[in-house]
Structures are given as C-alpha cells and as structure tokens.
Amino acid sequence: MELKGCLVLAALLLPAALAFPIQDDYENSTTTTEPTEVTTQENIYESPSPTETDEEDEDIFNKILKVNKDSSQFLQEGDIVPRRSRSAINCRQCNWPQSSDGIVRIPYELDPAYEESHVKGIHDAMAEFEALTCINFVKRKAERDYLSIRSADGCWSNYGRVGGGQTVSVMKGGCMWKGVIQHELEHALGFLHEHSRSDRDKHVKIMWEYISPPDRPDFKKFENSNNLDLPYDYSSVMHYGPYTFSNTTGKATIVPIPDRSVHIGQRQGMSNLDVAKINKLYNCSRCSTILDGPSGSLRSANYPRNYSDNTNCVWLIRTRSRKVSLHFQAFQLQITKGCQGDYVKVYDGSSKSSPVLMDKTCGSKIPNGIVASSNLMLVEFTTDGAQTASGFQATFTAVRTQRRSSIHN
Ligand SMILES: [Zn+2]
C-alpha cells in the first residue's frame, strides 16, 4: 500500500503542461522480464558508426531494458524513477526555466568515474540539443537544481525537473549510446514515452496477450497527455521497440496500425519530431531539421524564390553507418566581406562546436562537394537584415566508409 500510495502520488505530479503527463491510476510496475540474450556492451564512441549489418532491430528501449534488468532502482515503464516529493497542486516548476535570452540552461554534473570517451559521448549527445533546440546543458556552478549524471545501475531518469540534484543514470557499460543518453535526458526535460500518448490507439495496437499482467501498467495510456499538436512519431527516440516487455519470443507487443511494417524504435538519436516537440514545449524559436534518410536534399526557405532576412536555420544530416557527402546544386547568396552577412557554414559533426568543414561561404560560386568524417554533418544558413537572393539547394548521400584499418590520419 505504501508503494501504491507513492505511485499514485507520483502520478499526480505532472501537469498538462508537460508533454505526456502521467495519469492518476497508475498501478504497480515491476522489473522487466525481458527474456533476451546477453547484450554485448558496445561503446558508441569506440565505434561511432554502426556497420551496415549492425543491430538495426536493437532499438534503444531493448538496450535500456537489458541493462535495467539488474538495477536495484525502482522504475516505472522500464526506466523512469517515480516522483516522491512534490506538491501535486502545481507542477509548473517541472519544466526547466528559460532565461530572458530564450535559452533553457540546464546545469549538470558528471560522475568522476566516467572516462574520457564516456564524457565525450555524453557531450556529443548534449550537443545535438544545443544545435537543434534552445536547451543548453551547462556545467553546474552553484545552481540549486541540476542533473547529476552518474554511472549508476542502469539507464534511467526522472520526469522533468524534480528540484535539487536529480540523478540521470547513464551506466558506463550499457547506456553509452547517443540515443539512450538522449532518451534519458528527454525524460529529464519532461517527456514521457511516445506510445503513452492519449492518441496512441490510432497509431499502434497494444498486444495485451503478449504482455504479462505485471508489465501491463508500463503500457498505460495517458489520457491527458499534451501532444503539443504534433503528430504521433513512430521513430521517436522515446518510443518503445516492437518487442518491449514481450512474454513470447517473436511476438510484438506494439504493432503499428494500419501499416504494421512501419519501423518503431531506434537508437540513432532524436528524431525530427522529437526536436520539434522540445522546441514547442520550451518555446524555443529555432529553425532546425534532422535529415536521417540514406540520401536527401535541403534548400533555403522559399527556394528558388528569395530567402528571408534575419534567419538562422540548421540541418543535421545523420545517415546510417557511412560518411555524409554533400553536393550543392545551386548557390546564390548576398556577397559581403568575409561573408559576415548571409552565409552557409558546414560542420564536421552534429554541433556548432564541431570542426568546420566549410567556413562561412557566400556569393554565387557553387561550393565544392564536402564529405564529413562520419555519418553526421551540420549545415547552418544565416541571413542578415540586408539584401536577399535565391539561396541554395544541395543533396546529400551516404558514401562508403573506408575500413578502419586503412585510415591513417
Ligand atoms: Zn524511457
């Protein structure tokens, strides 16, 4: 009863303002019964690009559950720490505060037990938030509320801001995947699992017969979820995989409808809609797009008509397993000295702190093709208040990565 009361209290604590608040009849959840093989504990930073035959089906949530199977932390829905101490009356404070400059700065501390590669991995996962949203993770100075990112026993987090130092567990062994880190950070931002949305039954069918009774609360639907007027997202980094909590080998617990072949669950990182949802929940004025197909195109707004003044847009290109290759087909930007006015700039990675592949470029000469050193490339397009032009158009493809052993630099 004590546990139950605690859960009900926890369930009452999220406001409609959160993305997917918990409903108030939450039942006892259990530890996972995931009956799967032992995972190999890979580290994304030692092998930043999965090979083409890599575990595409090994979605984020599978990884999380495997690791959390041995966790002593009590968890709901597989990886969420129940809230224990917050007034249910008013949870406006569950979101992290926004500064007057529009940036939401979230202080964090890192576990000293992390090695350099882990720190880099966590920073890389955070950098995408900074590039694509107004969320900035900043090293804690003396702030009262902060994230304590620790290598505890599993991959888990609270919903939203709890107050004081709150743990986000990113265990060294099994959670060091960009998508997993981003998943847990998104919980801390106030996001629940995508399949918990009030409208989920229009998009997925929950196969209750393959879910053991103790696990069924993990599939609860939150009738009051704030869906932010954005579409259901099968490819969300917050979506369970198809076999999550299945009690029967080979039987899916979540089936997309009407097209059951739609892929759900992934571990590449935030989806375009994940980013849009963060930007909406936190009132970020950001122009950002994730392009995660094997190939595709991008162009300045209105192209081939003139682009607008005073804009700043970024495209994160994230192909699978290969290097991103970018080719411009058209390029027509206002010319200024040093391209300080309107410009395109390209980074070798997923953030503006990544190395620069093509520095600020303007004018009408079509730039040469660019190849990134990995499957990530960030393209930035900035315009000032003077003059416009038709802008640019480019295509990207994934080019084959050389074998690691043949790379000498
Ligand atoms: Zn989760």
How much is the pLDDT for 320?
81
* Ligand 1: centre distance to CA 158 (Å): 9
Residue 187 known to bind ligand = yes
For the ranges 93-107, 128-142, 326-340, 393-407, which has the lowest average pLDDT? 393-407
How much is the pLDDT for 54?
42
Task: Please say if the pLDDT value at position 223 is more than 50.
Answer: yes
How far is residue 174 from each of residues 76, 153, 234, 372, measured CA to CA in Å?
19, 10, 24, 28
Residue 123 known to bind ligand = no
How much is the pLDDT for 144?
95
Residue 7 — pLDDT band, cuts 50, 70, 90? very low
Is 142 strand, coil or helix?
A: coil
* Ligand 1: centre distance to CA 74 (Å): 13
Catalytic residue among 128, 130, 184, 194: 184
User: Higher pLDDT residue, 307 or 36?
Assistant: 307
How much is the pLDDT for 252?
93
How much is the pLDDT for 138?
97
Catalytic residue flag (residue 52)? no
* Ligand 1: centre distance to CA 265 (Å): 12
- Please tell me what DSSP assigns to residue 228: T
Name which of 165, 67, 156, 63 is nearest 110 in CA terms.
Answer: 165
- Interval 299-311 mean pLDDT: 94
Chain segment 128-156, per-residue pLDDT in tens: 999 999 999 999 999 999 999 999 999 99
Chain segment 28-38, per-residue pLDDT in tens: 333 333 333 33
Chain segment 46-94, per-residue pLDDT in tens: 333 333 334 444 677 888 888 888 888 888 888 988 875 443 333 556 8
- Give the tokens for residue 143: 């702030």
* Ligand 1: centre distance to CA 323 (Å): 29
How much is the pLDDT for 37?
31
- Please tell me what DSSP assigns to residue 312: E
Torsion sign, CA atoms 272, 273, 276, 282:
negative
- Give the Cβ contact number of residue 90 at 10 Å: 10
Residue 195 known to bind ligand = no
How much is the pLDDT for 143?
96
Task: Please say if the pLDDT value at position 308 is more than 50.
Answer: yes
Chain segment 198-219, per-residue pLDDT in tens: 999 999 999 999 999 999 988 9
How much is the pLDDT for 61?
80
Residue 8 — pLDDT band, cuts 50, 70, 90? very low
How much is the pLDDT for 73?
82
* Ligand 1: centre distance to CA 80 (Å): 6
Separation of alpha carbons 334 and 332, rounded Å: 7
Residue 159 — pLDDT band, cuts 50, 70, 90? confident
* Ligand 1: centre distance to CA 112 (Å): 24
Average pLDDT of the chain to the nearest whole number = 83
Task: Please say if the pLDDT value at position 184 is more than 70.
Answer: yes
How much is the pLDDT for 129?
96
To the nearest whole percent, how much of the chain has pLDDT over 70?
A: 81
Q: What is the pTM of this model?
A: 0.80
